């Protein structure tokens, strides 16, 4: 038996010795070829959907079939190469399932029509549009893989982060300029403004989205919102890591710094997977409830539900109907307003907070079941499940929501809320407390707000959502840490403690840097707007600038009235507010290593 086993092992080693270089060469050739074809498929999509309204699919179906074979060959050879190298990833079983499914589609599309006509299921899988959809998805995966492999540890992660948003902005601008994306041509500045607003999930628009953009244009805006809300590198890194094969190890450290520096490199793929899974879950669930709230029954209602669910969860504030939620069909639909508010709040909490709350919920549910069946033991130790970050976010968010709702209910009771019923007053006041937190939706005319309400709304806009969320602003944790630092300083303490945890000095310094940078950028933006728009009231320009920097999207109805120079100012403010001035400056200023020495300290009088 040992001789037989040794014989087969020898054959395996010889095959591995001979086949591995061959597979490596074929894989390299296919990778380059498929990379070029991927850009060709994307170009074909742009041409077909954006320029040529009479594109006949039968003319390109043979090419799609051959593209599919090349993509499948690259996928199989990459998997075999991993198998020979004994470097299978944790997702190897998913790759086997994907390979079997792709082979099934290839075989079905190769069968003659006489066989396909006998079986309805096989005939359905032989649909050319299914093959074309798979090829498009494979093209996007291939491009994502190329991007992931091109990441270099020597590059500053902030350069990739800012650059990805710039590329997405200009790509979106080009797509919105397509003839079939708009009912009538728009200027480059309007397309750029809309693309930046969508990518930066702001919601400010210089043109009417509902009447200016076709269904294709609205689909492009929804995609820009989705990619901008979660981050383009989240999607490309996820697909790139899943299909990168043996190159996955050398890119994990870089992607860790790009996506979440506090996570271990072994957790990056899981984190990306959870982010995409949670996003799709809440957006589809939100779309379902929105569909029910409007008593939907047509495809237009489905499109409305999906668009507004994506826009709400990503805190974008875009609407696909005229006047948005102030439309006569939806202005009195308080259930719809409440659903939108919940999506905005969940999207603004941040993915780490959502993951932490899910973990706590599973722990509580498991202990509850154990107590029911008598399996729970009594322990004196209480596990530290809730992170300090989660506690600060929940406390600050709750204070802002409850306090804002009560304040708007009292201040606007005889003004904006006078036309609503009692339940409508409560829901609208709650919506008014939610939407300034970078959501951008509006069921009321902001220009009609009382001055005291307008001032509070500017404060809520400036605070914004939570870190690592789809929202903007200086973030709830920044405000929470700043207030805790002020409180501890007044008490004579030199550090912050939360639930037996000490907040690092670096976190406190970052909080005050973010506050200072936000005020600086907002001030410069307001000064420029005042210089370019002398006829517009100061409070309107202040509201517009703060809304742009915090990517809130609310406006006092002056955005379409601004001159091109002022619109360019808002474009810069939205972009800086989304990626952060610190990230932009980090791209230009080289990082200095920490020094191993310290000079003697000296106090400087402050007050």
- Given pLDDT bands bounded at 50, 70 and 90, which one contains residue 110? confident
pLDDT in tens, 505-519: 888 888 888 888 889
Inter-residue contact 309 to 280 (CB < 8 Å): no
Cα 209 to Cα 90: distance, rounded to the nearest angstrom:
44
Closest of 358, 344, 554 to residue 470, by C-alpha: 344
pLDDT at residue 166, rounded to an integer? 81
Question: Where does the pLDDT of residue 408 fall: very low under 50, low under 70, confident under 90, or very high at 90 and above?
Answer: very high
Q: What digits encode the pLDDT tens for the residues 351-376? A: 888 888 888 888 888 877 877 777 66
pLDDT average, residue stretch 11-29: 60
Mean pLDDT of the 90-113 span: 70
| Region 3-11 average pLDDT | 58
HSE of 599, CA atoms in CB hemisphere, 13 A: 3
Lowest mean pLDDT among 86-90, 455-459, 494-498, 564-568: 86-90
Under 8 Å between Cβ of 337 and 431:
yes
Instruction: Please state the three-class secondary structure of 423-458 as a single string.
Output: HHHHHHHHHHHHCCCCCCCCCCCHHHCCHHHHHHHH
Q: Predicted confidence band at 285 (pLDDT cuts at 50, 70, 90)?
A: very high
Name which residue leads in pLDDT, 401 or 3.
401
Grade residue 246 by pLDDT with cuts at 50, 70 and 90.
very low
How high is the pLDDT of residue 247? 45
The residues spanned by each domain of the chain are 1-150, 350-370+386-588
- As beta bridge partners, residue 182 has 213
Note the pLDDT of residue 506: 82
The pLDDT, as a whole number, for residue 250 is 47
Contact 109, 65 (CB under 8 A): yes
Mean pLDDT of 555-580: 88
* pLDDT tens-place string over residues 300-339: 889 899 999 999 998 888 888 888 888 888 888 899 999 9
3-state secondary structure of 508: helix
Give the separation between CA 31 and CA 74, rounded to whole angstroms. Answer: 7
Cα 112 to Cα 298: distance, rounded to the nearest angstrom: 37
Q: Which of 12-26, 62-76, 325-339, 425-439 bottoms out in mean pLDDT, i.e. has the lowest?
A: 12-26
pLDDT of residue 525: 92
Of the CA atoms within 13 Å of residue 51, those in its CB half-sphere come to 6
Q: What does the pLDDT read at residue 309?
A: 92
Measure the CA–CA gap between 406 and 599, rounded to whole angstroms. Answer: 51
Q: Which residues, 6 or more positions from 413, have their beta carbon under 8 angstroms from its beta carbon?
A: 425
Q: What is the CA radius of gyration of the chain?
A: 27
CA distance 74 to 53: 33
pLDDT by residue (tens digit) across 118-159? 766 666 666 666 766 777 767 766 666 666 566 555 566 667
Averaged pLDDT for residues 206-221: 87
pLDDT tens-digit series, residues 291-302: 999 988 888 889
- Model confidence at 74: pLDDT above 80: no
**Residue 503: which H helix or E strand, with range?**
strand 501-503
More confident residue, 587 or 221: 221
Distance of CA 550 to the CA centre of its chain: 16
Quote the CA–CA distance of 371 and 377 in Å, as a whole number. Answer: 8
Among residues 326, 298, 129, 322, the alpha carbon closest in space to that of 208 is found at 322
User: To the nearest 10°, the Cα dihedral for 333, 442, 393, 427?
Assistant: -30
Distance CA 424, CA 431 (A): 10
Note whether 447 and 323 are within 8 A (CB): no
């Amino acid at each position: 038996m040992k001789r037989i086993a040794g014989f087969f092992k020898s054959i395996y080693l010889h095959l591995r010795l001979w086949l591995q270089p061959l597979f490596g060469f074929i894989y390299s050739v296919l990778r380059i070829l498929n990379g070029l074809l991927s850009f060709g498929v994307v170009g074909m999509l742009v041409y077909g959907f954006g320029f040529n309204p009479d594109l006949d699919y039968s003319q390109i179906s043979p090419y799609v079939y051959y593209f599919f074979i090349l993509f499948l060959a690259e996928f199989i050879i990459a998997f075999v190469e991993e198998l020979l190298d004994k470097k299978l990833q944790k997702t190897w079983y998913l790759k086997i399932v994907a390979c079997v499914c792709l082979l099934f589609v290839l075989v079905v599309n190769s069968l003659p029509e006489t066989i396909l006509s006998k079986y309805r299921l096989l005939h359905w899988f032989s649909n050319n549009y299914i093959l074309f959809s798979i090829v498009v998805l494979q093209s996007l995966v291939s491009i994502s893989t190329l991007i992931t492999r091109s990441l270099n540890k020597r590059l500053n992660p902030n350069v990739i982060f800012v650059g990805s948003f710039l590329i997405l902005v200009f790509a979106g601008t080009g797509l919105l300029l397509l003839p079939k994306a708009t009912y009538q041509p728009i200027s480059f500045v309007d397309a750029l403004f809309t693309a930046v607003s969508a990518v930066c999930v702001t919601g400010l628009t210089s043109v009417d989205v509902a009447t200016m953009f076709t269904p294709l244009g609205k689909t492009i805006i929804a995609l820009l919102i989705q990619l901008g809300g979660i981050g383009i590198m989240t999607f490309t890194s996820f697909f790139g890591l899943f299909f990168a094969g043996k190159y996955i190890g050398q890119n994990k450290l870089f992607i860790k710094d790009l996506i979440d520096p506090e996570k271990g490199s072994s957790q990056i793929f899981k984190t990306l997977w959870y982010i995409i899974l949670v996003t799709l879950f809440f957006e589809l669930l939100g779309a379902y409830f929105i569909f029910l709230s409007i008593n939907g029954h047509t495809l237009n209602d489905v499109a409305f539900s999906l668009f507004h669910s994506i826009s709400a969860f990503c805190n974008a504030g875009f609407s696909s109907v005229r006047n948005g939620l102030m439309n006569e069909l939806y202005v009195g639909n308080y259930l719809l307003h409440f659903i939108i508010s919940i999506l905005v709040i969940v999207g603004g909490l941040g993915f780490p907070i959502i993951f932490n709350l899910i973990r706590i919920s599973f722990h509580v549910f498991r202990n509850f079941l154990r107590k029911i069946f008598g399996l729970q033991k009594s322990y004196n130790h209480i596990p530290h499940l809730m992170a300090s970050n989660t506690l600060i976010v929940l406390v600050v968010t709750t204070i802002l929501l409850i306090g804002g709702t009560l304040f708007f209910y009292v201040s606007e009771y005889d003004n904006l809320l006078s036309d609503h019923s009692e339940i409508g007053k409560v829901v609208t006041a709650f919506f008014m407390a939610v939407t300034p937190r970078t959501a951008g939706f509006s069921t009321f005319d902001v220009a009609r707000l009382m001055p005291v309400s307008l001032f509070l709304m500017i404060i809520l806009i400036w605070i914004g959502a939570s870190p690592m969320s789809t929202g903007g602003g200086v973030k709830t944790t920044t405000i929470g840490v700043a207030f805790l630092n002020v409180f501890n300083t007044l008490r004579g303490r030199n550090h912050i403690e939360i639930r037996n945890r000490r907040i690092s000095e670096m976190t406190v310094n970052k909080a005050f840097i973010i506050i200072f940078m936000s005020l600086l950028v907002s001030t410069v933006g307001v000064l420029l707007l005042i210089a370019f728009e002398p006829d517009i009231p100061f409070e309107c320009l202040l509201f517009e600038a703060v809304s742009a920097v915090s990517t809130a999207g609310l406006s006092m109805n002056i955005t379409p009235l601004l001159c091109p120079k002022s619109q360019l100012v808002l474009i810069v403010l939205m972009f800086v507010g989304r990626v952060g001035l610190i990230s932009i400056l980090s791209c230009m200023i080289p990082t200095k290593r920490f020094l191993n020495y310290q000079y003697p300290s000296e106090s400087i009088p402050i007050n």
